[in-house]
Amino acid sequence: MAEYRFLSAWLLDASRDSVWEAIHDQKAWPTWWRGVEEVVELVPGEDDGLGSRSRMVWRSLLPYNLVFETHTVRVERPNLIEGTVDGELAGTGRWRLYEQDGATAVLYEWNVRTTRAWMNLLAPIARPIFAWNHDWVMARGGEGIAKLLGCRLLARG
């Protein structure tokens, strides 16, 4: 399996609480995040989302969908959400939120392995394309959450 490690960031002119609510509500992502085709809650988990499990379908400009299940394993409101994924991707994702002077920095760590045979076969030459694809999806997320919250996306990376 090919391994990928990504670190993405959004800086939003919004409170951490409002950003937290948008990120925490995964079922609503398809309404504001271009690239998230579907989120189906399989297990609701506890009140804070701990233990929840969802099936997600993602699509970018590349002509394929990625389907995987997420399992929320750590929740520290309003600072941290961590989950594991399995399916066509396997690994971990971690959201960290920081607020200062009314702006919220969002850091997303995505450490995954591809499980599709064709992706693993192409990994040596397609790695830059897969990285570009991830960056494209995360940029759409930053734009979408800013629009949802009616704030400015001050920076992304």
Q: pLDDT at position 149, please? A: 98
Q: pLDDT at position 83, please? A: 98
Collapse the DSSP code of 102 into the 3-class scheme (helix H, G, I; strand E, B; otherwise coil) and give the result: coil
Q: pLDDT at position 137, please? A: 97
Please give the single-letter amino acid code of residue 121.
Answer: L
Q: pLDDT at position 63, please? A: 87
H/E segment holding residue 68 = strand 65-76
The label of the residue with tokens 């299940």 reads 69
The residue count of the chain comes to 157
Q: pLDDT at position 62, please? A: 86
CA–chain centroid gap for 41, Å, is 16
Residue of 85, 101, 79 whose CA lies nearest to 19? 79
pTM for this one?
A: 0.94
User: What tokens were used for 156?
Assistant: 């992304």
> At a CB cut-off of 8 Å and minimum separation 6, what does 101 contact?
none
Residue of 22, 16, 15, 27 whose CA lies nearest to 97? 16
pLDDT in tens, the chain (157 residues): 899 999 999 999 999 999 999 999 999 999 999 999 999 999 999 999 999 999 999 999 888 899 999 999 999 999 999 999 999 999 999 999 999 999 999 999 999 999 999 889 988 998 999 999 999 999 999 999 999 999 999 999 9
Q: pLDDT at position 27, please? A: 96
Round to whole Å and give the CA distance between 3 and 110.
10
